Amino acid sequence: MVFIVLLSLILNALFMIKFYQNKKFNQRITNQLKWIKQGDALAELRKHHSSVSQDLLIEEINDLIKRHKQIQIEFNTIDNQNKEMISSISHDFRTPLTSMLGYVQILQASAESEKEIKYLKIVEERTKVLSELVEEFYRLSLLESKDLSFEMEQAYPILLLQEQLALYHQELSQSFSTVSVQLMEETISIETSVLEFNRLLGNLIKNAFSHGTERFCVYNELSKDSLMIYIENKVEKTDALDVNKLFDRTYKGDKPRTSSSTGLGLSIAKKIAESLGYTLEAAIEGEILQFKLSIPLNERK
């Protein structure tokens, strides 16, 4: 009787040990698969030789990991090649387009009839639009390929914003019945690329007067460690906008009004913000589309 009890205890103990070993193994496999799926870890699993079936499962998973690694390498290679190709093509287009625009302007100077002047003006406008689109493609390809180097310097972000608003004053006045600028006079300086910072702000402002209506508003807030700039405008059809896709390349919320646009303006603004260490977010509240640019302040000056 005692022997049977002892045997039962031993078998139960072995069963419990095996049960917890299998549970631990299953949890380890589950976690590994989750990490692989998320792209957080691609280390191969080690065999424990405690179970033939488990070792066979580990071999299959390791084969999956190897294949996943290879696919990732191939994808990154193709992605980089595509970015380099787009950058090269865009660069090659820039010079002939500039030359074409110059020739058109020469022809305009010698045009005599109103018909010639009219058609040359149309050619000039279309060439300028095409040149701007190529420039956007080129800029985005540089940002995505990390080939764009920024010349950093100390600058005053509020002053730069005021200058951009003044630059587009006419377009804003024509597009909106109400233009509200409520900026706190903050003498804060940051280290930034003035050229890219202006491009970022310019793209947000141009998006507003290109697609907004009635009301435009700019204001800023200051926290202990960040400067927040808000750019808002009213939009006619908020249900036609997917705020989660606004920064995606080629996304167009209002196709009829963007036929001459690449849809890259907001995507470029987002890339510039990320490259400069800023955060650019979009939100819709009622009929208002809001962009929030958060600039970290490491040193208050």
**Cβ count near 236 (within 10 Å):** 11
Give the model confidence (pLDDT) of 69-85 as tens digits: 888 888 878 777 776 77
| In-domain check, residue 93 | yes
Which domain range does residue 46 map to?
A: 42-148
| In-domain check, residue 28 | no
Nearest by Cα to 146 from 91, 83, 75: 83
With a CB cutoff of 8 Å and minimum separation 6, the contacts of 17 are none
Crossing angle of the two packed helices 194-211 and 265-276, in degrees rounded to 10: 150
pLDDT score, position 36: 67
pLDDT score, position 262: 56
Q: Are strands 226-234 and 190-192 parallel, antiparallel or unpaired?
A: unpaired
Verify that 172 and 280 share a domain, yes or no. Answer: yes
Verify that 84 and 188 share a domain, yes or no. Answer: no
Does residue 39 come out as left (phi exceeding 0), alpha (psi in the -120 to 50 range) or beta? left
Q: What is the CATH number of the domain that holds 232?
A: 3.30.565.10
Verify that 251 and 168 share a domain, yes or no. Answer: yes
Verify that 109 and 224 share a domain, yes or no. Answer: no
| In-domain check, residue 216 | yes
Total count of domains within the chain: 2
| In-domain check, residue 123 | yes
Q: Are strands 288-296 and 226-234 parallel, antiparallel or unpaired?
A: antiparallel
**Sign of CA pseudo-dihedral 77, 79, 82, 86:** negative
Q: Are 205 and 277 in contact (CB under 8 A)?
A: no
pLDDT score, position 102: 86
Verify that 163 and 203 share a domain, yes or no. Answer: yes
Nearest by Cα to 135 from 89, 170, 166, 174: 89
Verify that 89 and 72 share a domain, yes or no. Answer: yes
Verify that 86 and 118 share a domain, yes or no. Answer: yes
* d(C-alpha 148, C-alpha 139), whole Å: 8
Query: The tokens of 175 are what?
Result: 């597009």
Verify that 157 and 216 share a domain, yes or no. Answer: yes
- Taking CA 158 as the corner, what is the angle to CA 152 and CA 163, rounded to the nearest 5 degrees? 90
Query: Which residues of the chain carry a pLDDT beneath 70?
Result: 1-3, 5, 7, 14-15, 17-21, 36-43, 45-50, 83, 87, 90-91, 145-147, 186, 250-263, 299-301
Verify that 134 and 168 share a domain, yes or no. Answer: no
Give the model confidence (pLDDT) of 122-161 as tens digits: 888 888 878 877 777 777 777 776 667 788 999 999 999 9
Verify that 163 and 133 share a domain, yes or no. Answer: no
Verify that 211 and 142 share a domain, yes or no. Answer: no
Listed residues 104, 132, 148: the one ending a domain: 148
| In-domain check, residue 168 | yes
| In-domain check, residue 98 | yes
* d(C-alpha 90, C-alpha 131), whole Å: 10
Q: Which amino acid is at 29?
A: I
Verify that 142 and 175 share a domain, yes or no. Answer: no
Q: What is the CATH number of the domain that holds 110?
A: 1.10.287.130
| In-domain check, residue 245 | yes
Q: Are 265 and 248 in contact (CB under 8 A)?
A: no
